[in-house]
Homo-oligomer: A and B are copies of this chain.
Amino acid sequence: MIDKKVQSVAEAVSGIRDGATVMISGFGEAGSPIELIHALIDQGARELVVVNNNAGNGYVGLAALIGAGRVRKVICSYPRSSHSEVFPELYRAGRIELELVPQGTLAERIRAGGAGIPAFYTPTSAGTPLAEGKEVREFNGRQYVLEQALTGDVALVKAERADRFGNLVYNKTARNFAPIMCMAAKNTIVQVRHVVEAGDIDPEAVVTPGIFVDRVVHVPNPAQESKLVAEGVRYP
């Protein structure tokens, strides 16, 4: 019988290797799989390339992973926020690499990676410094930039509910990058607030079909990043 559930976040992140490309869901704190990220810190993989919209807040979650020196490079659209200290400091010191990608191009590159599309043209960034070094081509009189797919060795994702097949639904705007990251990674690891029986999720309302999911771990009361930041928590 298919059952993608594992018993702990430690088991969920086992096997992630040094040098892996790790996609991490979330837009700011909404949808950030903070317990999986902390488990990855404990697990110890190094030289990671992280794909996320941002670069973490305070000293927990993604910021803690970066702060622990585990991340070689961040691919993101917006690495600044009012509570981001860790990434800016390392970046200014030349100790971490940044690939800055417009947010929609980032989303489309991830979606392309999941859909078997190696590259596509987009109008975004044409005529700007972010198109430098990239092929530009005209279609119907307008300039478009060639962008390449992004894939992950691993995705760490937060969802609301899962069944044993890995079918997922999300909560409100915590959905954001999660569904496309599930598609684009070889090994998709999901923390969920609720584990339900097969058949309990309406087949019309499944957002991520289980085919895109490898491991599911039950985290019934996930931490809220902004609260941890406000409390000055540091992980570990």
Footprint of B on A, CB under 8 Å?
Answer: 108, 112, 115-123, 139-140, 142, 144, 148, 169-172, 202-205, 207
Least Cβ–Cβ distance between A167 and chain B, in angstroms: 13
A169 to chain B: which residues have CB within 8 Å? Answer: 204
Question: Is B108 within 8 A of A115, CB to CB?
Answer: yes
Assembled-state Cα–Cα distance A30/B72 (Å): 50
Assembled-state Cα–Cα distance A204/B142 (Å): 36
Assembled-state Cα–Cα distance A203/B174 (Å): 13
With A169-B204, A170-B204, A205-B205 as contacts: A123 and B119 at CB distance below 8 Å: no
Question: Is A121 within 8 A of B120, CB to CB?
Answer: yes
What are 26 sample pairs from A and B whose C-beta atoms fall under 8 A apart? Answer: A108-B115, A108-B117, A112-B120, A116-B122, A116-B123, A117-B120, A117-B121, A117-B122, A118-B123, A118-B139, A118-B142, A118-B144, A119-B120, A119-B121, A119-B139, A119-B144, A120-B120, A120-B121, A139-B148, A169-B204, A170-B204, A171-B204, A172-B203, A172-B204, A202-B205, A205-B205
Assembled-state Cα–Cα distance A172/B119 (Å): 31
* Extra 7 A-B pairs, beta carbons < 8 Å, given A171-B204, A205-B205: A112-B120, A117-B121, A118-B142, A118-B144, A119-B121, A119-B144, A172-B204
Scoring A140, A169, A204, A207 by chain B CB atoms within 10 A of each residue's CB, the highest score goes to A204
Assembled-state Cα–Cα distance A139/B121 (Å): 15
Assembled-state Cα–Cα distance A108/B207 (Å): 19
Assembled-state Cα–Cα distance A150/B57 (Å): 41
Assembled-state Cα–Cα distance A116/B147 (Å): 14
Assembled-state Cα–Cα distance A172/B202 (Å): 11
Least Cβ–Cβ distance between A200 and chain B, in angstroms: 14
Assembled-state Cα–Cα distance A142/B116 (Å): 12
